[in-house]
Amino acid sequence: MDELLLRTLVPRVIGVLVRRGADFASAEDAVQDALVEAVRSWPAEPPRDPQAWLITAAWRKYLDAVRAAAARRRREDTVDTEPAPGPVASTDDTLQLYFLCTNPALSAASSIALTLRAVGGLTTRQIAEAYLVPESTMAQRISRAKKTISDVPLDTVGEIATVVRVLYLVFNEGYSGELDLAAEAIRLTRQLAAAVDHPEVAGLLALMLLHHARRPARIAADGRLVTLADQDRSRWDTALIAEGVQILQGALARDRLGEFQAQAAIAALHADAADVRETDWVQIVGWYDELIRIVDSPIARLNRAVAVGEADGARAGLAALAQLDPALPRWTAVSAYLHERDGARAKAAELYAEAARRASSALERDHLVRQAARLNAQP
């Protein structure tokens, strides 16, 4: 029973149902019902053609739902107009589904939920568990999202930038429990990259692969955060790094630079160094400058200040930091780090403690408290 194959088929099957005249919301529900049946019956009776099986089952579920819900008259009309279930057109509607699920009328949270279900083939329960909310809450988000886009035809072309943004958000959620959202985001981005030729899609895929490659080294066995400098680089996944770099090079060669390609380039430079001291910080600063030219975000400027601190020394880093708003998330943590590098240990300890109080994640807070304690313990 290949659950991954099953999930991969979901957007295609939804596409077929919609092409046959089902509305998106009903098609999506029908496919979910068919999936449940597949999980139940495939282990005993594996189908010869999984996609055809799913289409048939989902179409039957759709008709059942229409028959059950609609008035007698409407039901008969629908059955009358049912097209012959002949050969399935080879058009893949997957790309259109991405656009639909990330329609700008939806909030980010709704886009994420709908994409994971309609394109990713995940169940509402799986998505709810990943986001640590009750299943009923996630079901509401999905059903509201479907209502919001009920008038949008499937062939509406949307912004690829919006799709890419949503996949990036899914990836950034990391993972919790059984479902690995980072791996799921990579799977969906691979699928998108296969459906559309766009340098930013490739850039995002490269970025995800490069970060994913370092994941085994980011968290220690006891659950502590391990900073980039202290990571055991032998634990980085070299195959993923090689793949990410190759995809990135292909994208950069197209000469249409975007924010994800720039971020991936920075990640690639980190991945390329056998040791933190060998990192090409000068080039990294250059890429941050590119990134800021594309999207001038305060976070990018903060990260740039860290890179400047490595490339040109702590004083230069602190000078770059002084240009930025101290209210920025992680500003204090960066300041603490640069002060320590500059030899101001007492000041750094104080700043680490303050940064710990302002941290938004438990892992980061624990890390920063340890940094403060480490400096306070030494004379």
Partner 1 sequence: MAKYLFLKHYRGAPAGVNDVPMDQWTQDEISAHLQYMDDFADRLRATGEFVDGQALSPEGAFVRYDGEGRPPITDGPFAETKDLIAGWMAIDVDSWDRAVELAGELSAAPGAGGKPIHEWLGVRPFLTAPPTVTE
| Residue 275 backbone class (left: φ over 0; alpha: ψ -120 to 50; beta: rest) | beta
**Which element (helix H / strand E) includes 240?**
helix 238-252
| Residue 147: Cβ-neighbour burial (10 angstroms; 0-12, 13-18, 19+) | exposed
Report, in Å, the least distance between residue 131 CB and partner 1.
Answer: 7
Q: Which is nearer to partner 1, 186 or 251 (CB)?
A: 186
Under rule CB under 8 A, residue 182 binds partner 1: yes
154 and 24 Cβ atoms separated by less than 8 Å: yes
The correct pick among 63, 65, 109, 319 for binding partner 1 (CB under 8 A) is: 109
Q: Residue written as tokens 């048939």?
A: 56
> Which window, 11-19, 30-38, 79-87, 210-218, contacts partner 1 (CB under 8 A)?
210-218
Q: Which residue pairs, CB below 8 angstroms and at least 24 apart, start in 326-332?
A: 328/298, 328/299, 328/302, 329/299, 329/358, 329/360, 330/302, 330/355, 331/302, 332/358
Q: How many residues bind partner 1 (CB under 8 A)?
A: 40
**Which element (helix H / strand E) includes 254?**
none
Which amino acid, 322? A
Q: Residue written as tokens 């957007």?
A: 11
> Which window, 17-25, 238-246, 247-255, 354-362, contacts partner 1 (CB under 8 A)?
354-362
Q: Site map for partner 1, 12-51, x if CB under 8 A?
A: ----------------------------------------
Q: Which of 64, 73, 81 is nearest to 20 (CA)?
A: 81
Of residues 121-180, those binding partner 1 (CB under 8 A)? 131-134, 136-138, 140-141, 144, 171-174, 176
> Which window, 36-44, 188-196, 236-244, 355-363, contacts partner 1 (CB under 8 A)?
355-363
Distance, in Å, from the CA atom of 235 to the CA atom of 245, rounded to the nearest integer, reads: 18
The correct pick among 152, 364, 369, 370 for binding partner 1 (CB under 8 A) is: 364
Of residues 242-271, those binding partner 1 (CB under 8 A)? 263, 266-267, 270
Under rule CB under 8 A, residue 363 binds partner 1: yes
Both structure tokens of 159: 């912004």
Report, in Å, the least distance between residue 181 CB and partner 1.
Answer: 9
Q: Which is nearer to partner 1, 207 or 314 (CB)?
A: 207
Q: Which is nearer to partner 1, 37 or 366 (CB)?
A: 366
Report, in Å, the least distance between residue 140 CB and partner 1.
Answer: 4
Report, in Å, the least distance between residue 324 CB and partner 1.
Answer: 17
Q: Which is nearer to partner 1, 107 or 156 (CB)?
A: 107
Report, in Å, the least distance between residue 275 CB and partner 1.
Answer: 16
**Which element (helix H / strand E) includes 163?**
helix 160-172
Both structure tokens of 64: 């059942």
Distance, in Å, from the CA atom of 316 to the CA atom of 118, rounded to the nearest integer, reads: 48
Please name every residue paired with 219 in a beta bridge, in sequence order, or none if there are none.
225
22 and 82 Cβ atoms separated by less than 8 Å: no
Q: Which is nearer to partner 1, 182 or 324 (CB)?
A: 182
Q: Which is nearer to partner 1, 313 or 329 (CB)?
A: 329
Report, in Å, the least distance between residue 362 CB and partner 1.
Answer: 4
Phi then psi for 92, rounded to 5 degrees? Answer: -100, 120
**DSSP three-state, residue 379:** coil
Whole-angstrom CA distances from 120 to 149, 293, 301, 316 are: 18, 33, 34, 45
Report, in Å, the least distance between residue 9 CB and partner 1.
Answer: 27
Of residues 270-289, those binding partner 1 (CB under 8 A)? 270
Q: Which is nearer to partner 1, 75 or 224 (CB)?
A: 224
118 and 28 Cβ atoms separated by less than 8 Å: yes
Interface contacts to partner 1, rule CB under 8 A: 107-110, 113, 131-134, 136-138, 140-141, 144, 171-174, 176, 182, 207, 211-212, 215, 225, 228, 263, 266-267, 270, 303, 306, 359-365
